[in-house]
Amino acid sequence: MRFQLTVVVLALVLAPGFAHAAAPCIPGSQSTVFNASHDLDKVSVNGRRYANLQPNESSDSAPGLNAATAYVVGNHACRQLTLDSGSYDFRTLTQIGGRETYLLVSGGNNLSIDFRNARFLFKESYFSALTV
């Protein structure tokens, strides 16, 4: 009985160290740059998968770029968020503090954003385009 108790205590002491191992920014890569046009389909955000954001398509980029932003902010191995150059349409609004915005960047430490000459086209100019 004493031996079993010792094993359980050791398992509890060791488990947190393994659980807190740093996750890579992109699974299977050492890169700290997350490109939402190439890497978004490799991760899950709040249990959901998103397609990579493709420039110059008429699809709504707001949900995907908000998911990419949330992922990068929540993963400390990611140091930069990028997109391929081109046009991106934004149609879906996000709620933050009773206000509506198309793109929300909340949190992040030592994170840079490089949208690489991307052109954002917002459905309505009445709402905030970007809230940081």
Q: Is the pTM of this model over 0.85?
A: no
CA–chain centroid gap for 23, Å, is 13
Please check whether residue 108 lies inside any domain of the structure. Answer: yes
Through-space distance between the first and last CA atoms of the chain, rounded to whole angstroms = 56
Please check whether residue 17 lies inside any domain of the structure. Answer: no
Report strand pairing: 94-96 vs 99-104.
antiparallel
Please check whether residue 87 lies inside any domain of the structure. Answer: yes
* Residue written as token pair 């940081």: 132
Please check whether residue 85 lies inside any domain of the structure. Answer: yes
Please check whether residue 62 lies inside any domain of the structure. Answer: yes
* Structural domain total, the chain: 1
Q: What is the pLDDT of residues 1-49, one digit of tens each?
A: 322 222 222 223 333 333 445 689 999 999 999 999 999 999 999 999 9
Q: What is the pLDDT of residues 91-115, one digit of tens each?
A: 999 888 888 998 888 877 778 999 8
Q: What is the pLDDT of residues 26-35, one digit of tens each?
A: 999 999 999 9
Please check whether residue 125 lies inside any domain of the structure. Answer: yes
Please check whether residue 7 lies inside any domain of the structure. Answer: no
Residue range(s) defining the domain that contains residue 62: 23-131
